[in-house]
A = this chain, B = another copy of it.
Amino acid sequence: MVDMFKILDCTIRDGGYYTNWDFNKALVDQYIESMNKLPVDYLEIGYRSKPLQGYLGKYFYNPSYELLDLKSKSNKKLVVILNEKDVRVEHLDELLTPIKGIIDMVRIAIDPEHLGRAISLAEGIKKMGFEVGFNVMYMSKWNQYSNFMGDLKFVDGVADYFYMVDSYGGVFPKDVIETIGLVKSNTAVKLGFHGHNNLELALINSLTAVEHGVEIIDSTVWGMGRGAGNLKTELLLAVLNSKYGLSIDFNALGDAVSAFDDLLRKYEWGTNLPYMISGSNSLPQKDVMDWVTTRFYSFNSIIRALQNQKEKVKDN
């Protein structure tokens, strides 16, 4: 099983939701060095983006000098991600030409509503010589988009990996199996799974995905990532070691984990009651994250607001 799928660690990209994509350079270097000794295939280093308003850290833009430096230190395939909603085909030259030969794969974060637009964008990226990953959000609601499943055939030959993203962190193993079946009946593209941990199901969902033919899995150190966070890289590797005999340098893995200890204590990501409620009810965790981190609202008022949102009652 272990040989049959790849691991993409996206700590810097997904963890950036907590640090505003500002990471201490020494931390990033420690991360790169530790990952060099671990059986992870891809490292996603952040976004490439046109200048946006407001402050966003280095790993939201990833200037080519930084990527070149990481490339010189890493033995992994490097990845950046684009937000489909902000990027059009005419921007690709500016965003991607400078990082040709440095970055191996470009992923696209895609709202299922804009799958068609994403396919055009992907064709442009593919022509520039990059591997292309589709990260398609809201897998639990794909059947509510009328043309989505039918349009999946157009992904063949364009995307190298087509990720099912459990945006709300609310899918169960049986949902993973069901969605894989639906997708596989419409496209032959290699599948990926990006799990969130609201209900502490990221590991079992990811292992279930792999058992049912998914070929690439996302994870992050300490599960660092938006809201309740992601599948923990160290958990995935520990289980692959004990259950499937994958060789792991636990000193390197321990170093990777320890490097993020201070950030964990500072930002306290991970699941909690509001994220559990948002996950199990398929409510946007971005809203929850804003409420929780603002600290203006009490725990109970957040829960009430979520319940009202679920019942379509307006908040006061």
Known A250-B307, A303-B251; judge A280-B243 contact (CB<8 A): yes
Please judge, given known A-B contacts A251-B300, A307-B250, whether A199 and B235 are in contact too, CB under 8 Å: yes
* Nearest B residue (CB) for A307: B250
Instruction: Indicate whether A199 sits within 8 Å of B251 (C-beta atoms), given known contacts A204-B204, A258-B299.
Output: no
The answer on a CB contact under 8 Å between B254 and A300 is yes
Q: What are the residues of chain B within 8 A of A203 when measuring CB–CB?
A: 199-201
Bound: A246/B281 CA distance, A? 13
Say yes or no for A304: interface residue by CB 8 A criterion: yes
| Closest chain B CB from A72 CB (angstroms) | 27
B238, B280, B303: the one contacting A273 at CB < 8 Å is B238
Residues on B with C-beta less than 8 A from A280 are: 238-239, 241-243
The one of B238, B255, B276 in contact with A235, judged by C-beta atoms closer than 8 angstroms, is B276
Q: Which residue of B lies closest to A203 (CB)?
A: B200
When distances are taken between beta carbons in the complex, the residues of chain B under 8 Å from A254 are 273, 299-300, 303
A239 to B277, CA, bound (A): 8
Within 8 Å by CB of A251, from B238, B271, B277, B304, lies B304
Q: Identify the closest chain B residue to A306 (Cβ).
A: B250
A44 part of interface (Cβ distance < 8 Å): no
Q: How far does the alpha carbon of A2 sit from the alpha carbon of B123 in the complex, in Å?
A: 49
Beyond contacts A200-B202, A251-B304: 20 other A-B pairs, Cβ-Cβ < 8 A, are A170-B242, A197-B200, A199-B203, A199-B235, A200-B201, A200-B235, A201-B203, A201-B204, A204-B204, A238-B273, A238-B276, A239-B276, A242-B281, A250-B277, A250-B300, A250-B304, A250-B307, A254-B273, A254-B299, A257-B272
Bound: A262/B254 CA distance, A: 27
Give a binary string over A145-182; 1 marks a CB under 8 Å from any B CB, 0 the rest. Answer: 00000000000000000000000001011000000000
Closest 6 interchain pairs by CB?
A: A242-B280, A238-B276, A250-B303, A200-B200, A254-B299, A254-B300
Question: Beta-carbon contacts of A286-307 to B below 8 Å, as 1s and 0s?
Answer: 0000000000000110011001
Task: Say if the beta carbon of A234 comes within 8 Å of chain B.
Answer: yes
Q: Tell me if B253 and A273 are in contact (CB < 8 A).
A: yes
Q: Which residues of B contact A251 (CB under 8 A)?
A: 300, 303-304
13 A-B Cβ contacts within 8 A?
A170-B242, A199-B235, A201-B203, A204-B204, A234-B273, A241-B277, A242-B281, A250-B277, A250-B304, A253-B303, A254-B273, A254-B300, A257-B272
Distance in angstroms between the alpha carbons of A307 and B254 in the assembled complex: 13
Distance (whole angstroms) from the CB of A149 to the closest CB of chain B: 24
By the criterion CB–CB under 8 Å, are B239 and A199 in contact? yes
Which residues of B have CB within 8 Å of A258? 299
List residues of chain B with CB within 8 A of the CB of A199: 203, 235, 238-239
Residues of B within 8 A of A201 (CB): 200, 203-204
Q: Which residues of B are found within 8 Å of A204, using beta-carbon distances?
A: 172-173, 200-201, 204
The complex places the Cα of A173 from the Cα of B299 at a distance, in Å, of: 32
